[in-house]
Amino acid sequence: MAGIDIEGLATVYPNGVRAVDGLDLHVADGEFFALLGPSGCGKTTLLRTIAGLENASEGTVRIDAADVTRTEPGKRGVAMVFQDYALFPHMSVAENITYPLKVRRVAAATRAETAERTAGELSLDGLLERRPGQLSGGQQQRVALARAIASQGKVLLLDEPLSNLDARLRLEARTFLKKLQRDLGITTVFVTHDQAEALALADRIAVMESGKLRQLGTPREVFARPVNTFVANFIGSTPMNLAPGVVSAAGVSVAGGTLPVEGFTPEGAEVTVGVRPEYLTLTTGDATGPGLRGTVVVAENLGVQSLVSVDCDGTLIGVTVPEEEEPEPGKPVFLTAPAARVLLYDAESGEL
Ligand code: ADP
Ligand code: MG
């Protein structure tokens, strides 16, 4: 098993695009690591550079402590699953799964045995003689995974492997993948633009923007404490409330009211106040203490919860409430949050 160490890595395309722009990253042995970011931020390029399918322009890539920056892809010990699976349409499932072994001239009997075993691990039993065109999307996806696993790489690189599946299959495949990775214990880098997928699967997450890492941490850390407004905007199935504020003696003045804050920020400092809808509490009766007064605009049903939009002095603030406590539009309400949940970002830099 193997960790991945990346130092000062840059990948510049011939057209001058610095798709990976000076990046340091350590992925631990056996870790399930998610790379998350919007389309075009450099996720695929980073993965391809780790695999050796793109050349690093600067910096180093180490796998299992060995410098592989100039090593050809086939000798790095990595297995990659591409977004479109890249299965060979004219080959059977068994031939697809064992293709990397055939390239390495592994004996036919060993290949057949590997195909059987891997197909079993990936719930593809009975499908070995079929062609990819005769499989469902979910099955094709598992064949691509099976091929990667059968190649016995030290690390598994997955480029948006679930994005071509419909919603229900995607959830099933997600659970399957999580269990498989845990059972195999293989170091995995999983690329996605879907924050919910990253939060659900990964031991740790790196959020990328424009070829750079903007935050690295556990799903819990990144969700509860985004270190800048870019990450704050990107993480969470309901968007974080971000509104301009000024630090006061009582807390922070925002949206016509006051919210409590932790720690010390000089009075008068101009900030962007960040508070998640999940961490705000809505009350409809009399209320005292710091908080925001407003009027309910709309409520959206999210299932067991509702997302209520409240107009607080011209600023719309989102707050989640249990579905049965959903207030009527037009109702006056009061919003509060614990000081620990109110984040203050520098108004200019957007950093915590
Ligand atoms: P992501 O996977 O996060 O969507 P990519 O790594 O595919 O991002 O792309 C990162 C940036 O590099 C984008 O600006 C993209 O247009 C550019 N890019 C990707 N592939 C190439 C290429 N082969 N040649 C030139 N530019 C590329
Ligand atoms: Mg991509």
Write the pLDDT tens digit of every residue in 183-215. 889 999 999 999 999 999 999 999 999 999 999
Do 180 and 315 have their domain in common?
A: no
Write the pLDDT tens digit of every residue in 96-105. 999 999 988 9
Averaged over 277-294, what is the pLDDT? 91
Rounded to the nearest whole angstrom, what is the distance from the C-alpha of residue 42 to the centroid of ligand 1? 6
Rounded to the nearest whole angstrom, what is the distance from the C-alpha of residue 21 to the centroid of ligand 1? 12
Write the pLDDT tens digit of every residue in 293-325. 999 999 999 989 999 999 999 999 999 999 999
The residue whose CB lies within 8 Å of the most ligand 1 atoms, and thus the one to mutate among 9, 11, 13, 80, is 13
Around ion ligand 2, residues with a beta carbon closer than 5 Å are: 44
Do 199 and 255 have their domain in common?
A: no
Which ligand lies nearest the alpha carbon of 160? 2
Do 211 and 302 have their domain in common?
A: no
For the chain, the first-to-last Cα distance in angstroms comes to 36
Domain for residue 163, yes or no? yes
Rounded to the nearest whole angstrom, what is the distance from the C-alpha of residue 195 to the centroid of ligand 1? 20
| Residue 254 per-residue DSSP state | E
Do 31 and 91 have their domain in common?
A: yes
Write the pLDDT tens digit of every residue in 27-52. 999 999 999 999 999 999 999 999 99
Do 76 and 131 have their domain in common?
A: yes
Q: State the Cα–Cα distance between residues 306 and 87, nearest whole angstrom.
A: 43
Nearest atom in ligand 1 to the alpha carbon of residue 39 is 4
Q: State the Cα–Cα distance between residues 307 and 238, nearest whole angstrom.
A: 8
The total domain count for the chain is 2
Do 289 and 315 have their domain in common?
A: yes
Task: Identify the domain boundary among 190, 207, 229.
Answer: 229
Do 215 and 281 have their domain in common?
A: no
Domain for residue 33, yes or no? yes
Reported as half-sphere exposure (CB side, CA atoms, 13 A), residue 42 has a value of 25
Task: Identify the pLDDT of residue 166.
Answer: 85
- The more confident residue out of 206 and 287 is 206
Which ligand lies nearest the alpha carbon of 161? 2
Question: pLDDT band at 1, cuts 50/70/90?
Answer: low
Do 209 and 260 have their domain in common?
A: no
Rounded to the nearest whole angstrom, what is the distance from the C-alpha of residue 45 to the centroid of ligand 1? 6
Averaged over 268-283, what is the pLDDT? 96
Do 23 and 159 have their domain in common?
A: yes
Phi–psi pair at 60, nearest 5 degrees: -135, 150
Q: Which residues line ligand 1 at a C-beta cut-off of 6 Å?
A: 13, 15, 17, 19, 37, 39-45
The residue whose CB lies within 8 Å of the most ligand 1 atoms, and thus the one to mutate among 9, 18, 45, is 45
Domain for residue 64, yes or no? yes
Q: Is 341 exposed, middle or buried (0-12, 13-18, 19+ CB in 10 A)?
A: buried
Rounded to the nearest whole angstrom, what is the distance from the C-alpha of residue 7 to the centroid of ligand 2? 21
Write the pLDDT tens digit of every residue in 159-168. 999 888 888 8
Is residue 122 scored above 80 in pLDDT?
yes
Residue nearest to atom 13 of ligand 1 (CA): 40
Domain for residue 236, yes or no? no
What ipTM does the predicted assembly reach? Answer: 0.99
Whole domain around residue 264: which residue ranges? 241-346
Reported as half-sphere exposure (CB side, CA atoms, 13 A), residue 257 has a value of 23
Cβ within 8 Å of residue 97, ≥6 positions away: 114, 115, 118, 119, 128, 143, 146, 147, 150
Task: Identify the domain boundary among 200, 229, 258.
Answer: 229
Rounded to the nearest whole angstrom, what is the distance from the C-alpha of residue 36 to the centroid of ligand 1? 15
Which ligand lies nearest the alpha carbon of 43? 1
Do 199 and 249 have their domain in common?
A: no
Beta bridge pairs of residue 320: 307
Task: Identify the pLDDT of residue 172.
Answer: 86
- Give the rounded percent of residues in the chain with a pLDDT score beyond 90: 84
CATH number where 327 lies: 2.40.50.140
Domain for residue 29, yes or no? yes
Do 250 and 304 have their domain in common?
A: yes
Do 183 and 257 have their domain in common?
A: no
Average pLDDT over all residues of the chain: 94
What sections of 185-253 are H helices per DSSP? 195-201, 219-224, 229-234
Rounded to the nearest whole angstrom, what is the distance from the C-alpha of residue 22 to the centroid of ligand 1? 15
Residue nearest to atom 22 of ligand 1 (CA): 13
Q: Which residue bears the tokens 């070995």?
A: 128
pTM: 0.91
CATH number where 223 lies: 3.40.50.300
